[in-house]
């Protein structure tokens, strides 16, 4: 029997509202809407992905309980949650800035690459990151 091939297909991100989340990711971050399927009872299967992505998507999941509502914008207790890697940091940074994305700091050069922390529409922290040795 041969070994299986695995990859992370999607990461769930709890949001307040499907449509406002789709708007943020597609307009402000230039992500692609991969799927938006009605599952009934107010649920949808919504996948977004960075342009030219390797296949890992964000599954936008609208909060449907008090516990989920509390997690919106704080999925990792205030730490950086997701790492958006790029091969053209300054282009993406300037585009995001022009689109009104909120940054927590000025870009900085670290030993591993160029990085800046930004927030999504709910306050989850992300790194925009161009590694010194690209993995894209």
Whole-model pTM?
Answer: 0.91
Q: What contacts 19, CB < 8 A, 6 or more positions away?
A: none
Distance CA 35, CA 33 (A): 6
pLDDT in tens, 69-95: 999 999 999 999 999 999 999 999 999
Distance CA 112, CA 120 (A): 23
Q: What contacts 5, CB < 8 A, 6 or more positions away?
A: none
Average pLDDT value over all residues in the chain: 95
Whether the predicted pLDDT of 130 surpasses 80:
yes
Residue 135 pLDDT class (50, 70, 90 cuts): low
Third-level CATH fold of 10-131? 2,3-Dihydroxybiphenyl 1,2-Dioxygenase; domain 1 (3.10.180)
Distance CA 105, CA 117 (A): 6
């Amino acid at each position: 029997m041969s070994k299986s091939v695995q990859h992370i297909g999607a990461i769930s991100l709890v949001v307040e509202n499907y449509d406002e989340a789709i708007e943020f990711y597609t307009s402000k971050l230039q992500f692609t809407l991969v799927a938006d399927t009605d599952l009934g009872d107010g649920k949808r299967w919504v996948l977004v992905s960075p342009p030219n992505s390797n296949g890992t998507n964000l599954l936008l999941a609208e909060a449907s309980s008090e516990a989920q509502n509390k997690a919106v914008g704080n999925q990792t207790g205030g730490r950086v949650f997701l790492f958006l890697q790029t091969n053209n940091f300054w282009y993406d940074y300037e585009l995001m800035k022009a689109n009104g994305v909120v940054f927590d700091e000025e870009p900085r050069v670290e030993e591993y690459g160029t990085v800046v922390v930004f927030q999504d529409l709910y306050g989850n922290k992300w790194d925009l990151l161009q590694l010194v040795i690209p993995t894209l």
